[in-house]
């Protein structure tokens, strides 16, 4: 049995390995640089003395999920500073694109001394954890420091449930310290309950990911890119592709070009370290390839065949410039399990996915039920489906409308989440004012 003492001892013993992974510079990803000290709790003071609301979002996906909550908090509590922590540098880059009374810090590793020092410097009034990033020492110290800790948009798969049960001696007490868990659905609630949490700690709000929002600036930037590419040209985006999938997409697009020579492919690899390799793949097949990182807003892109999205945090802009979206991570067996179709669906794009989408089965199943997404099994089926949608754009428009309908139908989690958060934030403000 792994006790908290043994867990902490192992953390210290494996520090060299942990920090080599945290600080390893990967091609295409922003380096952590001098900010490495933040991982051990040596964190610069905040610009404001006021106690912030602390939101922990591991990486890009969690920051995206947190954005509607961040916007709602800023609207309801405009004077309250927000402290957002991430573990990854790409997550930090995504936070940097947010506006308002926000500061970013790297999340300290789960060493008691690091977490204590971080909390001592930051003095958060409340901690919100996005999805399920639960660290035993961090939870225990938050409880000791009387910091309410709420898990938002919480999900717990059967696999994760089994992991927590396997290490019950380590997680049992820390889980009891949680103030509240806002679950995505009843299955998540049931699994958390099986770990010993009581009903008073649990609520079901739905997933905030359906409450996705796009600013006017993003939409206008997408429309401006479409103007550059050519308004009359059909545009398909291959989003979040993985190694081995780019070749499939490019081969399918060669086939599409036979029927639609004016078509444009926007190709967006999932991992920044692959940008250069994918650029070479594109150039080998399509000499008229343009990298977004090397393009200017005034460039004429009317002759471009492939537009490589080699930038971070701009997926909504690239989606807004497209007609059809193929979602990557779904045509390379069961290695990945697909990616989230909610962003293209919320932008009313016709969606296509491969057969492997188990990581987002709920959303994809709902889209399938209303013909908002099509499943393809290989390169030829992908080419055929894109060709059909480009040949009959009215079908693509209808698919996009059906996909958007799924998003609209499931909205409302944000209101439920904010109702709970408002209760705890107002309590915290009241307690602070009476000190």
Residues catalogued as catalytic: 62
Return d(Cα 396, Cα 379) in angstroms, integer.
19
Return d(Cα 269, Cα 318) in angstroms, integer.
12
* 15-23 and 4-13 helices, crossing angle to 10°: 60
Helix-then-strand count for the chain, H and E: 18, 14
Q: How many CB atoms lie within 10 A of CB 9?
A: 11
Burial 240-256 (b: 16+ CB within 10 A, else e): bbbeebbebbbebbeeb
Tokens standing for 416? 């439920």
Tokens standing for 363? 């959303």
Q: Among all chains, which residue has been given the structure tokens 């947010």?
A: 98
The alpha carbon of residue 421 and the mean position of all alpha carbons in its chain are separated, in whole angstroms, by 21
CA dist 121 → 43, 137, 255, 328, 354 (Å): 7, 17, 58, 41, 47
Tokens standing for 370? 């209303």
Tokens standing for 331? 């045509």
Return d(Cα 395, Cα 385) in angstroms, integer.
11
Residue 202 · residue 192 · CB < 8 Å = yes
- State in Å, rounded, how far the first CA of the chain is from the last one: 42
Residue 428: which of 49, 53, 47, 174 has the closest Cα? 53
Residue 279 · residue 310 · CB < 8 Å = yes
């Amino acid at each position: 049995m792994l006790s908290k003492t043994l867990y902490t001892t192992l953390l210290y013993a494996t520090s060299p390995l942990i920090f080599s992974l945290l600080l390893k510079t990967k091609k295409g990803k922003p380096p952590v640089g001098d900010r490495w000290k933040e991982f051990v709790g040596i964190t610069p003071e905040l610009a404001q003395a006021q106690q912030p609301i602390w939101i922990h979002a591991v990486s890009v996906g969690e920051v995206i999920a947190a954005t509607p909550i961040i916007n709602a908090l800023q609207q309801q509590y405009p004077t309250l500073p927000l402290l957002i922590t991430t573990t990854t540098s790409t997550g930090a880059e995504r936070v940097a694109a947010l506006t308002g009374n926000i500061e970013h810090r790297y999340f300290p590793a789960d060493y008691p001394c690091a977490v204590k020092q971080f909390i001592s410097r930051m003095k958060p009034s409340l901690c919100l954890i996005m999805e399920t990033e639960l660290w035993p020492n961090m939870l225990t110290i938050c409880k000791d420091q009387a910091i309410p800790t709420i898990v938002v948009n919480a999900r717990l798969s059967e696999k994760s449930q089994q992991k927590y049960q396997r290490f019950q001696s380590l997680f049992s007490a820390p889980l009891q310290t949680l103030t509240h868990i806002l679950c995505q659905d009843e299955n998540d609630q049931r699994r958390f309950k099986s770990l010993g949490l009581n009903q008073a700690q649990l609520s079901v709000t739905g997933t905030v990911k359906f409450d996705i929002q796009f600013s006017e600036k993003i939409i206008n930037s997408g429309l401006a890119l479409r103007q550059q590419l050519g308004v009359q040209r059909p545009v398909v985006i291959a989003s979040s592709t993985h190694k081995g999938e780019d070749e499939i997409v490019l081969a399918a697009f060669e086939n599409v070009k036979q029927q639609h020579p004016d078509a444009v492919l926007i190709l967006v690899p999932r991992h920044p370290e692959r940008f250069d390799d994918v650029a070479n793949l594109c150039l080998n097949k399509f000499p008229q390839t343009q990298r977004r990182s090397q393009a200017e807003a005034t460039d004429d892109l009317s002759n471009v065949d492939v537009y490589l999205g080699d930038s971070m945090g701009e997926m909504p802009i690239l989606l807004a410039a497209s007609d059809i979206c193929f979602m990557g991570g779904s045509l390379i067996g069961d290695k990945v399990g697909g990616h989230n179709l909610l962003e293209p669906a919320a932008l009313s794009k016709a969606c296509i996915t491969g057969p492997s989408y188990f990581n987002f089965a709920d959303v994809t199943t709902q889209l399938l039920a209303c013909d908002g997404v099509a499943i393809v099994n290989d390169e030829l089926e992908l080419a055929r489906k894109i060709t059909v949608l480009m040949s009959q754009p009215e079908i693509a428009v209808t698919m996009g409308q059906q996909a958007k309908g799924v998003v609209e139908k499931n909205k409302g989690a944000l209101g439920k989440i904010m109702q709970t958060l408002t209760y705890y934030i107002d309590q915290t403000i009241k307690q602070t004012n009476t000190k």
